[in-house]
Amino acid sequence: MNIKLNKPLVFIDIEATGLNISSDRIIEIALWKWMPDGTESGLTERVNPGIPISEQAFKVHGISESDIKDCPGFKMKAPKWIEFIGNADLAGFNSNKYDIPLFVEECLRHNIAFDIKGRQCIDVQNIFHFMEPRNLKAAYAFYCQRELTNAHEAMADVKATADVFKSQLNRYKGQQSPSASVKSGHTFPNSIPELASFSKSDRWLDLAGRIWINDDQIPVFAFGKHKDKPVVEVFQKEPSYYHWIMQGDFALQTKQVVTEIRLAMRQSS
Protein backbone atom coordinates (compact mmCIF):
# COMPACT_ATOMS: atom_id res chain seq x y z
CA MET A 1 0.00 0.00 0.00
CA ASN A 2 1.58 3.28 -1.14
CA ILE A 3 0.65 5.45 1.81
CA LYS A 4 1.89 5.88 5.36
CA LEU A 5 -0.75 5.96 8.08
CA ASN A 6 0.06 7.93 11.21
CA LYS A 7 -3.21 6.83 12.78
CA PRO A 8 -6.04 4.44 11.85
CA LEU A 9 -8.26 5.03 8.82
CA VAL A 10 -11.86 3.78 9.05
CA PHE A 11 -14.02 3.28 5.96
CA ILE A 12 -17.74 3.76 6.63
CA ASP A 13 -20.81 2.65 4.69
CA ILE A 14 -24.38 3.20 5.83
CA GLU A 15 -27.75 1.92 4.67
CA ALA A 16 -30.68 3.99 5.90
CA THR A 17 -34.42 4.59 5.71
CA GLY A 18 -33.84 7.16 2.97
CA LEU A 19 -31.51 9.87 1.71
CA ASN A 20 -32.52 12.84 3.88
CA ILE A 21 -29.74 13.49 6.37
CA SER A 22 -31.92 15.38 8.83
CA SER A 23 -34.99 13.11 8.85
CA ASP A 24 -33.88 9.60 7.84
CA ARG A 25 -32.28 7.04 10.15
CA ILE A 26 -29.50 4.47 10.00
CA ILE A 27 -30.51 0.81 9.69
CA GLU A 28 -27.14 -0.78 8.88
CA ILE A 29 -23.54 0.29 9.28
CA ALA A 30 -20.31 -1.31 8.18
CA LEU A 31 -16.87 -0.16 9.31
CA TRP A 32 -13.53 -1.34 7.93
CA LYS A 33 -10.37 -0.23 9.71
CA TRP A 34 -6.83 0.08 8.41
CA MET A 35 -4.19 0.26 11.14
CA PRO A 36 -0.75 1.88 10.75
CA ASP A 37 0.85 -1.55 11.25
CA GLY A 38 -0.99 -2.91 8.19
CA THR A 39 -3.62 -4.97 10.01
CA GLU A 40 -7.27 -4.66 8.99
CA SER A 41 -10.55 -5.41 10.78
CA GLY A 42 -14.22 -4.66 10.40
CA LEU A 43 -17.67 -4.87 11.87
CA THR A 44 -21.20 -4.62 10.54
CA GLU A 45 -24.45 -4.32 12.46
CA ARG A 46 -28.09 -3.43 11.97
CA VAL A 47 -30.27 -1.26 14.19
CA ASN A 48 -33.98 -0.53 14.42
CA PRO A 49 -34.47 3.03 13.15
CA GLY A 50 -37.82 3.53 14.86
CA ILE A 51 -39.33 4.94 11.67
CA PRO A 52 -40.55 3.34 8.41
CA ILE A 53 -38.11 2.41 5.65
CA SER A 54 -39.01 4.23 2.45
CA GLU A 55 -39.96 2.14 -0.57
CA GLN A 56 -37.16 3.76 -2.57
CA ALA A 57 -34.57 2.84 0.06
CA PHE A 58 -35.83 -0.75 0.27
CA LYS A 59 -35.45 -1.11 -3.50
CA VAL A 60 -31.81 -0.09 -3.14
CA HIS A 61 -30.61 -2.14 -0.15
CA GLY A 62 -33.34 -4.78 0.23
CA ILE A 63 -33.56 -4.46 4.01
CA SER A 64 -37.17 -4.67 5.17
CA GLU A 65 -38.73 -3.52 8.41
CA SER A 66 -39.22 -7.15 9.44
CA ASP A 67 -35.47 -7.69 9.03
CA ILE A 68 -34.66 -5.14 11.74
CA LYS A 69 -37.74 -5.16 13.98
CA ASP A 70 -35.90 -7.07 16.75
CA CYS A 71 -32.64 -5.13 16.44
CA PRO A 72 -31.59 -2.67 19.15
CA GLY A 73 -31.76 1.06 18.53
CA PHE A 74 -28.95 3.38 17.45
CA LYS A 75 -28.36 4.71 20.97
CA MET A 76 -27.53 1.25 22.28
CA LYS A 77 -25.09 0.34 19.51
CA ALA A 78 -23.41 3.66 18.68
CA PRO A 79 -20.94 3.66 21.62
CA LYS A 80 -19.48 0.36 20.34
CA TRP A 81 -19.04 1.82 16.86
CA ILE A 82 -17.47 5.01 18.19
CA GLU A 83 -15.05 2.94 20.29
CA PHE A 84 -14.13 0.95 17.16
CA ILE A 85 -13.53 4.17 15.21
CA GLY A 86 -11.48 5.70 18.02
CA ASN A 87 -9.34 8.61 16.84
CA ALA A 88 -9.30 7.38 13.25
CA ASP A 89 -9.64 9.45 10.13
CA LEU A 90 -12.66 8.55 8.00
CA ALA A 91 -13.20 7.47 4.40
CA GLY A 92 -16.02 6.20 2.23
CA PHE A 93 -17.80 6.38 -1.10
CA ASN A 94 -19.82 9.62 -1.23
CA SER A 95 -19.18 9.68 2.50
CA ASN A 96 -18.55 13.42 2.80
CA LYS A 97 -22.09 14.11 1.58
CA TYR A 98 -24.00 11.15 3.03
CA ASP A 99 -22.51 8.54 5.37
CA ILE A 100 -20.49 10.84 7.64
CA PRO A 101 -23.14 13.61 7.91
CA LEU A 102 -25.84 11.00 8.58
CA PHE A 103 -23.76 9.35 11.32
CA VAL A 104 -22.96 12.70 12.95
CA GLU A 105 -26.64 13.68 12.77
CA GLU A 106 -27.71 10.48 14.52
CA CYS A 107 -25.13 11.04 17.27
CA LEU A 108 -26.34 14.60 17.83
CA ARG A 109 -29.96 13.44 17.86
CA HIS A 110 -29.19 10.99 20.67
CA ASN A 111 -26.76 13.29 22.54
CA ILE A 112 -23.87 10.91 21.88
CA ALA A 113 -20.42 12.49 21.75
CA PHE A 114 -18.67 12.05 18.41
CA ASP A 115 -16.33 14.84 17.38
CA ILE A 116 -15.68 15.21 13.66
CA LYS A 117 -13.19 18.02 14.25
CA GLY A 118 -9.58 17.00 13.81
CA ARG A 119 -10.46 14.03 11.59
CA GLN A 120 -9.44 13.89 7.95
CA CYS A 121 -12.37 12.78 5.76
CA ILE A 122 -11.50 11.15 2.44
CA ASP A 123 -14.24 10.74 -0.16
CA VAL A 124 -13.18 7.92 -2.48
CA GLN A 125 -16.00 8.79 -4.91
CA ASN A 126 -14.66 12.31 -5.35
CA ILE A 127 -11.18 10.94 -6.05
CA PHE A 128 -12.72 8.62 -8.64
CA HIS A 129 -14.55 11.51 -10.31
CA PHE A 130 -11.54 13.83 -10.20
CA MET A 131 -9.15 11.26 -11.61
CA GLU A 132 -11.42 9.51 -14.11
CA PRO A 133 -13.29 12.47 -15.84
CA ARG A 134 -20.11 7.35 -11.51
CA ASN A 135 -21.32 4.48 -8.65
CA LEU A 136 -19.32 2.11 -6.50
CA LYS A 137 -19.97 -0.86 -8.80
CA ALA A 138 -18.39 0.97 -11.74
CA ALA A 139 -15.47 2.14 -9.63
CA TYR A 140 -14.86 -1.40 -8.39
CA ALA A 141 -14.93 -2.82 -11.90
CA PHE A 142 -12.62 -0.08 -13.18
CA TYR A 143 -10.03 -0.23 -10.42
CA CYS A 144 -10.18 -3.85 -9.28
CA GLN A 145 -11.12 -5.59 -12.57
CA ARG A 146 -13.76 -7.58 -10.73
CA GLU A 147 -17.54 -7.45 -10.56
CA LEU A 148 -19.01 -6.23 -7.29
CA THR A 149 -21.51 -8.79 -6.09
CA ASN A 150 -23.95 -8.15 -3.23
CA ALA A 151 -23.94 -4.40 -3.90
CA HIS A 152 -25.75 -2.42 -1.19
CA GLU A 153 -24.93 -4.97 1.45
CA ALA A 154 -23.03 -2.69 3.79
CA MET A 155 -20.00 -4.95 4.40
CA ALA A 156 -19.65 -5.77 0.70
CA ASP A 157 -19.82 -2.06 -0.13
CA VAL A 158 -17.40 -0.91 2.55
CA LYS A 159 -14.76 -3.54 1.69
CA ALA A 160 -15.13 -2.72 -2.02
CA THR A 161 -14.60 0.96 -1.17
CA ALA A 162 -11.41 0.08 0.72
CA ASP A 163 -10.21 -1.98 -2.26
CA VAL A 164 -10.96 0.90 -4.65
CA PHE A 165 -9.01 3.33 -2.47
CA LYS A 166 -6.04 0.96 -2.31
CA SER A 167 -6.06 0.67 -6.11
CA GLN A 168 -6.29 4.47 -6.46
CA LEU A 169 -3.19 4.87 -4.30
CA ASN A 170 -1.24 2.47 -6.51
CA ARG A 171 -2.63 3.69 -9.84
CA TYR A 172 -2.24 7.46 -9.39
CA LYS A 173 1.04 7.68 -7.52
CA GLY A 174 2.92 10.65 -8.98
CA GLN A 175 0.21 11.48 -11.55
CA GLN A 176 -1.49 14.82 -12.10
CA SER A 177 -5.27 15.19 -12.10
CA PRO A 178 -6.74 15.63 -15.63
CA SER A 179 -10.07 16.85 -14.23
CA ALA A 180 -11.20 20.30 -15.34
CA SER A 181 -11.56 21.54 -11.76
CA VAL A 182 -9.55 23.10 -8.96
CA LYS A 183 -7.72 19.77 -8.73
CA SER A 184 -6.36 20.14 -12.28
CA GLY A 185 -2.59 20.16 -12.38
CA HIS A 186 -2.21 18.88 -8.82
CA THR A 187 0.00 15.84 -8.32
CA PHE A 188 -1.95 13.01 -6.72
CA PRO A 189 -1.29 13.25 -2.96
CA ASN A 190 0.27 10.59 -0.80
CA SER A 191 -0.81 11.44 2.74
CA ILE A 192 -4.09 11.24 4.61
CA PRO A 193 -4.47 15.03 5.19
CA GLU A 194 -3.69 15.81 1.53
CA LEU A 195 -6.07 13.10 0.29
CA ALA A 196 -8.82 14.47 2.53
CA SER A 197 -8.32 17.92 1.02
CA PHE A 198 -8.07 16.49 -2.51
CA SER A 199 -11.32 14.53 -2.17
CA LYS A 200 -13.38 17.46 -0.94
CA SER A 201 -15.68 18.75 -3.67
CA ASP A 202 -16.01 22.19 -2.10
CA ARG A 203 -15.10 24.16 1.01
CA TRP A 204 -18.17 23.18 2.99
CA LEU A 205 -18.38 24.48 6.55
CA ASP A 206 -21.14 22.05 7.49
CA LEU A 207 -21.49 18.40 6.58
CA ALA A 208 -24.85 18.79 4.84
CA GLY A 209 -23.49 21.36 2.38
CA ARG A 210 -25.63 24.32 3.43
CA ILE A 211 -22.82 26.71 4.39
CA TRP A 212 -19.53 27.08 2.56
CA ILE A 213 -16.44 29.30 2.57
CA ASN A 214 -16.17 31.62 -0.45
CA ASP A 215 -12.99 32.89 -2.11
CA ASP A 216 -12.77 35.67 0.48
CA GLN A 217 -12.82 33.05 3.26
CA ILE A 218 -16.26 34.21 4.41
CA PRO A 219 -19.06 31.78 5.36
CA VAL A 220 -21.94 32.12 2.88
CA PHE A 221 -25.25 30.35 2.36
CA ALA A 222 -25.35 27.67 -0.34
CA PHE A 223 -29.14 27.53 -0.66
CA GLY A 224 -32.36 29.52 -0.72
CA LYS A 225 -33.10 33.18 -1.23
CA HIS A 226 -29.79 34.19 0.38
CA LYS A 227 -27.61 31.85 -1.66
CA ASP A 228 -24.00 33.13 -1.92
CA LYS A 229 -24.70 35.89 0.63
CA PRO A 230 -22.51 36.11 3.76
CA VAL A 231 -24.19 34.48 6.74
CA VAL A 232 -23.26 37.32 9.10
CA GLU A 233 -24.60 39.94 6.70
CA VAL A 234 -27.91 38.09 6.36
CA PHE A 235 -28.31 37.73 10.14
CA GLN A 236 -27.55 41.43 10.63
CA LYS A 237 -30.18 42.52 8.11
CA GLU A 238 -32.72 39.75 8.74
CA PRO A 239 -32.32 38.30 12.27
CA SER A 240 -35.45 36.18 11.83
CA TYR A 241 -33.65 34.08 9.21
CA TYR A 242 -31.60 32.46 11.96
CA HIS A 243 -34.75 31.45 13.83
CA TRP A 244 -36.28 30.15 10.59
CA ILE A 245 -33.27 27.86 10.14
CA MET A 246 -33.36 26.69 13.75
CA GLN A 247 -37.04 25.80 13.47
CA GLY A 248 -36.72 24.24 10.02
CA ASP A 249 -35.92 20.75 8.78
CA PHE A 250 -32.17 21.29 8.68
CA ALA A 251 -29.48 18.93 9.94
CA LEU A 252 -28.60 19.44 13.60
CA GLN A 253 -24.94 19.87 12.72
CA THR A 254 -25.88 22.63 10.24
CA LYS A 255 -27.78 24.35 13.04
CA GLN A 256 -24.70 24.01 15.24
CA VAL A 257 -22.52 25.72 12.64
CA VAL A 258 -25.06 28.50 12.09
CA THR A 259 -25.32 29.07 15.84
CA GLU A 260 -21.52 29.24 16.19
CA ILE A 261 -21.39 31.90 13.46
CA ARG A 262 -24.17 33.88 15.14
CA LEU A 263 -22.48 33.71 18.56
CA ALA A 264 -19.16 34.84 17.08
CA MET A 265 -20.98 37.70 15.35
CA ARG A 266 -22.52 38.84 18.65
CA GLN A 267 -19.24 38.60 20.54
CA SER A 268 -17.44 40.74 17.97
CA SER A 269 -20.09 43.46 17.91
The answer to whether residues 159 and 223 belong to one domain is no
User: With pLDDT > 70 as the criterion, what percentage of the chain qualifies?
Assistant: 95
Residue 16 has pLDDT above 80, yes or no: yes
Task: Quote the pTM value.
Answer: 0.69
Q: If you average pLDDT over residues 11-25, what whole number do you get? A: 94
Residue 184 has pLDDT above 50, yes or no: no
Residue 269 has pLDDT above 90, yes or no: no
Cα angle value 7/199/91 (rounded, 5°) = 40
The predicted pLDDT at position 151 comes to: 78
CATH number, domain at 74? 3.30.420.10
The answer to whether residues 190 and 220 belong to one domain is no
Measured between alpha carbons, how far is residue 42 from residues 155, 166, 167, 185 in Å? Answer: 8, 16, 19, 36
Which one is predicted more confidently, 58 or 180?
58
Closest CA to 217 of 230, 226, 201: 230
Per-residue pLDDT reduced to its tens digit, 103-112: 999 999 999 9
- The confidence band for 66, taking pLDDT boundaries of 50, 70 and 90, is very high
Domain boundary among 198, 226, 255: 198
Per-residue pLDDT reduced to its tens digit, 205-239: 898 889 988 878 899 999 999 998 999 999 999 99
Domain that includes residue 188, residue range: 9-198
Examine residue 204 and state whether it is found in any structural domain, yes or no.
no
Instruction: Give residues with Cβ within 8 angstroms of 111, minimum separation 6.
Output: none
The predicted pLDDT at position 182 comes to: 46
Q: How many domains does the chain have?
A: 2
Per-residue pLDDT reduced to its tens digit, 152-166: 889 999 999 999 999
Residue 51 has pLDDT above 60, yes or no: yes
Count of CB atoms within 10 A of residue 100's CB? 23
Examine residue 3 and state whether it is found in any structural domain, yes or no.
no
